[in-house]
Amino acid sequence: MRKTTYTESAHTADPTQSTADASLATSGLPNRLMTAFEVAEFVGCHEETVRRAYLRGLLVSQRFGVRTQRYMNARANSLAESMRRARERREGRLANAYAEQGYAG
């Protein structure tokens, strides 16, 4: 592993793109492959939920070796939106069930 990082020289630097702004996509996600933990942190769930979403086909991933898997951020926004809708449906069903039982809340 390299311990030295090389900075871009002045004559090859691209002045139109700043490094801090370029690393973030327009959605607020980094413009790179993300770990399950990073996707879970963005979506607001557990990282095992992210792995299950991949198994269901909701996320696209890239494998690196036997144990490492990175997820593409293009689908993380749609996963976050679908989880938000599911949470709203679940809360709506609970509110309806409480209303039918006569609970005031």
* Per-residue pLDDT tens over the stretch 7-55: 665 555 554 544 444 444 445 666 778 888 988 888 888 999 999 988 9
Pseudo-torsion of CA 60, 63, 18, 39, nearest 10°?
A: 50
Query: Does residue 12 lie in a domain region?
Result: no
CA separation, residue 40 to residues 24, 36, 94 (Å): 17, 6, 25
CATH code at 93? 1.10.1660
pTM: 0.56
Is the residue at 7 inside a domain?
A: no
Tokens linked to 70? 């990175």
Position 7 scores a pLDDT of 61
Please give the pLDDT value at position 11: 57
Range of 93's domain? Answer: 20-98
